Chains A and B, each alone.
Chain A
Amino acid sequence: MEFRILIRLFTLSFLAWNVVSCTKEVQIDIPGYKDQMVIDGSIETGQPAIVFLSKSNNVYSETNFQAYLDGFISGATVIISNGTETDTLSEICSDNLPPGTEEVAAAFFGIPVDQLVNLHLCAYVSFGMLGEVGKTYTLKVIHNGKEYNSTTQIAQATPLDSLYWKPEGSFTDRGFSWAKLSDPLSNNDAYCWQVKYIGMPNFKKTFNPFFNDKFFNGKTFDFAYENPMSFDDPNGDPNYRGYYKAGDTIVVKLSKIGKAEYNFFEKKYNQIYSGGNPFSTPTNVPTNIQGGALGVWVGYSPWFDTLVCQ
């Protein structure tokens, strides 16, 4: 993650460059488009697997909301297995959600409940199998005669040693969340940091929520994360964005993920934050799915803790 500082510097230079240089829109031929299946699947401890299927779109195609909706794929066969048991996932759609799940689904899609229930957004859910620590899960997706396969694992979660809050800089009532983590000695430990205010239905990821132990394998160290919810309020004071205020109570979810899955998310966020500038190379996000699909199949092993900011 430290190299992102270097990327940030170059990105800042790139932005400065944009100020002094001339930028204009051009029409240019971009060959190489091919229609690909996109699989976005996950399973975590104690939770069913959820798999979204969609397709990629030509960069010059419509990029409006309808195109996004049209991209979802129905009618596929989705099967997961933990080595001993197999479950064929059920397709559920936003216009026919099981009672009580509307709010969770709305938060997941980032769409208000009243709009979501009028849309036809479909996902595949393993009602017959929940994630268990130590098990390896294979995913098989069959659609239009093509088969896609992937494997992920739910590892043993790594607990945080402690969680605390402290004022930042000149503030007395605003600050980041801090945590102390003792990383296991094994290599390639990777984590995902998510957070929510207590009472919220869904966890929210920070701007760059994934990190691995490349620089601190086996070490105990302290680190901070910003408050991602503070950016959701368009009327919020911009000076306070990123901070928790004294008195906030939050729930932290630190999930362990595998190496290939971390590789996907690392490259994904690298593309999001550096894509387009000339100092970066064109980087496709590496999938862990075989068969020609894009996306990821990831197993999360979460550990939860609650922090009262004081």
Chain B
Amino acid sequence: MLLQDVKLVQIPKWNMKILLSFLLLFISSISFSQTKVTLSGYITDSKDGEAMMDVKVYIPSLKLGAMSNNYGFYSLTVAPGKYQVEFRSVTYGAEIKELDLTKSQVFSIELGSKTTDVNEVVVNLKKTENVTSTKMGQIELQMDQVKTLPAFMGEVDIIKTIQLLPGVSSVSEGGQGFYVRGGGPDQNLVLLDEGVVYNAAHLFGFFSVFNADAVKSVNLIKGGMPANFGGRMSSVLEVNMNEGNMKKLKVTGGIGAISSRLTLEGPLKKDKGSFIVSGRRTYIDILLKAAISDTSPFAGSSYFFYDFNAKLNYKLSAKDRIFLSGYYGKDVFNFSDNQGGFGANMPWGNGIAALRWNHLFSDKLFMNLTTTFSDYMFKFGSQQDEFRFELASGIRDVGAKVDFSYFPNPAHRIKWGADYKYHTFTPTSVTAQNDTTVFDTGAAQKLFSHEAAAYVLDEFDLNDQLRLNVGLRYSAFAHVGPFTRYVKGDGISTQDTTIQYNRGDLIKFYHGLEPRVSLRWLLPDNSSIKAGYAYNYQYVHLTSLSAVSLPTDIWFPTTDIAKPEKGWQGSVGYFRNFFNDKFESSVEVYYKGIKNLIEFKEGALPGDNVSDNTDNLLVFGEGWAYGIEFYFKKSVGRFTGWVGYTWAKTERRFPDINEGNIYPAKYDRRHDLSVVGTYKLNERWTFSASFIYATGNTLTLPSSWYVQEQNLLFNYGARNSTRMSPYHRLDLSATLYSKAYKTKTDPATGKEIEVKKKYRSNWSFSIYNVYNRMNPFFLYVDNDGDFLAGNFKLTVKQVSLFPIIPSATWNFEF
């Protein structure tokens, strides 16, 4: 039974040979007998005690270095001796320490007390990262810069910033869903402190669930996914929350056009543990209440969202630290039509919790153990006179994950680990009642499944030019009972029947190997060539009946009918820095092929999955995407920013859609250009601008009309055969900071001195859509007039959402 789907593992033989060769090479190269010592420890920020990731620990005399991981841990094994060791960070520049490494030692350091030229170090780090690392298609956002970019309605938004990167495009105007290299929104693994975020949007997709005040770092992997990540076809968006200030109590907050937020952080015990709590809430409902009178038929209609982030961390010992993170966010939409006797309530939201334990087994072996809980639910309740109707859907995960990082020598960085999740899916649960009559809506459908994976990867240097990152991931998925399989008849010769599975029954098992390889070949002229290959399986799917992303979109697991999505991505890139490394650039080409993609059958309706299985309504196909991305970035100096351009093509082929013909995906975009710039005029003023241009989205419109029983009906043309006009928009922002220092008389000397203010604030002004471009949100065919009177007319109408929108937000901290 367990081997029934072995045929799914279709890794080419040449692929496996190469992989095994690398594994042998890696085993032989890590075992060497020469005496070595290890320098290891944690790197933290002297300002608030937070762990600092991606700090380079470098010994210039040996030309050897290591990077700190997400928890600030580093390990560097070298020959015994006395060395100057540099600790280089983007935030603080370099700190140099003289260390006697005649024997292994643990050296933890707080950075920020002494600094060198930050710009110079940033250049050095960027050079290292952009040209010398094996990373392809990976971009880390600087939160300081994100906060100064133009913000829609004043809400700083991580996802909207990501949509400005090459290879990433937005679902629609203002939308939170994002497409990476031709993949769907569900093909992005969005993680908040390692907990899966199933719906990263508030307000039907216009705002992100990530409160920028609570976010420490954002890392997007859009290609060459390393083996420690999996479960999605396209990308990983890794969002890490702030840990909380270890040194002092700190309050930050902001008051914006539609919401306000407040964050409190501080030490639980100085330098041992800290906490952070952060909340945000909109006041659209209060504005609506003021706008709708009590006598209005729509009195009682409202909308609001809120979210809450919290995190605790504590150092149990020099080798142990625990983290507890939580997120809870909810949107609530109420609609009342008192005249029509109609009322509706629609709440939806995410809950995420993660408990992590960092343990240091030795100065070379680091472990992170995480238990996670993720929950996404959508509910809808309505009442029309005496008819009551309730619908719910959602997904809940309980899981655990362990990751080991091993640093045997500077040439090897090895990781291995395992991941397990127990999924509970509720695609649709419906109850309906008319007065005292309870309708038969079938039992609430729940689907249960186990998802597990194990991986190993090694990043190692074969020589000065060639660095390889070789990984192998094994993933498995089991759909288990209880479960009711509906087998539909045609109503004439065959009738509907069901197959019942009991708790724990294995309904279907899938598994597969996912090889991941990336390499970097360093060229002499401050440039490098990189290539990557990744094979992925995806066992959970998002199905949508709507042309736009909605909270009603249903997460659905792999079953005996719905097979796992599987596919590969290959990419090759040229990376080069210019002008003494102040500018970095890259050109990447990619190809992605995916099988077992999922869509609803043509004509499926939301109610069709009541007393039926959702997968009975699905059809399956394949897709592919290819493109070329150009990226040019300046990350130092008063003026920073980037230009990204993507040429891409994304197509789909489903036997049961579009008569089996190839059609463009709804997110197929030929051209995508983004230009982002930030200019720091002085300590008080910073200006930013962003401009985007994108080929219009595709959609399906009626190509013909006909009449049946005096009703005009439409027949739709080829799938996604119509393309909307191009999208372009310019946004501007200016941020005015309060003075950082105040003048004070020194009581000892009587002289006036400048002291840093405890309280600081800033005003952030934004203008969205500066030149008031009426960008298309969607098109529809409208009819007007009387058919029989002869004045009937069909026209195509374009709906645009957002005109020019100025906004202001006041932010503070003390």
* Interface residues in chain A, defined as those with a beta carbon under 8 Å from any beta carbon in chain B: 1-3, 5-9, 12-13, 17-18, 21-34, 36, 38, 40, 54-60, 63-66, 68, 71, 109-111, 153, 169, 186-188, 205, 214-219, 221-223, 258-260, 263, 266-268, 270-272, 275-286, 294-296
Contact = CB atoms under 8 A, between A and B. Distances in A.
B402 interface: no
Nearest to A115: B788
A280 B547 contact: yes
A268 B708 contact: yes
Contact of A215 (B382, B432, B792): B432
Contacts of A63: 705, 783, 787, 792-794
B804 to A, nearest CB: 12
A21 B389 contact: no
Contacts of A65: 787-790, 792
Contact of B439 (A23, A215, A222, A276): A215
Contacts of A286: 602-603
Given A2-B607, A30-B796, A279-B550, A36 B704 contact: yes
Contacts of B491: 187-188, 258-260
A102 to B, nearest CB: 17
A217 to B, nearest CB: 6
Contact of A40 (B337, B432, B709): B709
A5 to B, nearest CB: 5
A58 B704 CA distance: 4
Interface in B782-814: 782-783, 787-801, 803
Interface residues of B, number: 90
B725 interface: yes
A260 B337 CA distance: 35
B602 A219 contact: no
Contacts of B724: 28
Nearest to A42: B709
The 9 closest A-B pairs by CB, nearest first: A32-B717, A259-B491, A3-B607, A276-B780, A215-B439, A32-B718, A188-B491, A221-B437, A282-B700
Interface of B: 335, 337, 341-342, 344, 346, 380, 382, 384, 387, 389, 391, 430, 432, 434-435, 437, 439-441, 489-492, 495-496, 545-548, 550, 552, 600, 602-607, 610-611, 699-711, 713-718, 721-725, 774, 776-783, 787-801, 803
Given A12-B335, A188-B491, A271-B713, 7 more contacts: A7-B606, A22-B801, A26-B797, A30-B702, A32-B718, A59-B714, A282-B701
A25 B5 CA distance: 53
A108 B344 CA distance: 38
A223 B743 CA distance: 79
Contacts of A109: 710
Contact of B704 (A59, A222, A280, A283): A59
Nearest to B601: A286
Nearest to A295: B708
9 contacts: A2-B389, A2-B439, A28-B701, A33-B703, A57-B706, A186-B495, A216-B439, A219-B439, A280-B547
A30 B432 CA distance: 40
A95 B395 CA distance: 63
B610 A30 contact: no
Contacts of A23: 797-800
Nearest to B696: A28
A282 B439 CA distance: 29
B605 A58 contact: no
B774 A24 contact: yes
B704 A56 contact: yes
Contact of B788 (A8, A17, A110, A205): A110
A226 B380 CA distance: 26
Given A63-B787, A214-B611, A219 B440 contact: yes
B437 A24 contact: no
Given A21-B801, A64-B790, A278-B777, A6 B391 contact: yes
B715 A25 contact: no
A61 B496 CA distance: 43
A59 B702 contact: yes
B441 A279 contact: no
Nearest to A109: B710
Given A24-B798, A27-B796, A271-B713, A214 B496 contact: no
Nearest to A151: B492
Most buried by B among A60, A215, A263, A285: A215
Nearest to A31: B721
A294 B706 contact: yes
Given A5-B389, A33-B703, A219-B437, A271 B714 contact: yes
B787 A68 contact: yes
A109 B434 CA distance: 36
Contacts of B722: 28-31
Contacts of B700: 282
Contacts of A266: 605
A250 B469 CA distance: 79
A273 to B, nearest CB: 11
Contacts of B723: 28
A54 B712 CA distance: 13
Given A281-B547, A294-B706, A3 B718 contact: no
A17 B203 CA distance: 13
A188 B608 CA distance: 13
Contacts of B789: 65
Contact of A2 (B432, B699, B715, B787): B432
A40 B712 CA distance: 13
A284 B716 contact: yes
B555 to A, nearest CB: 18
Contacts of A187: 489, 491, 495-496
Contacts of B492: 153, 258-259
A217 B440 contact: yes
A32 B384 CA distance: 40
Contacts of B382: 5-6, 9
Contacts of B552: 6
A145 to B, nearest CB: 21
B721 A221 contact: no
A270 B608 CA distance: 13
A277 B780 CA distance: 7
Contact of B547 (A13, A169, A282): A282
Given A31-B721, A56-B705, A221 B788 contact: no
Contact of A214 (B607, B707, B716, B788): B607
B708 A59 contact: no
Interface centre among A2, A21, A286 (most CB of B within 10 A): A2
Contacts of A272: 711, 713
A69 B710 CA distance: 12
Contacts of A259: 490-492
Contacts of B346: 9
A64 B717 contact: no
A54 B706 contact: yes
A268 B546 contact: no
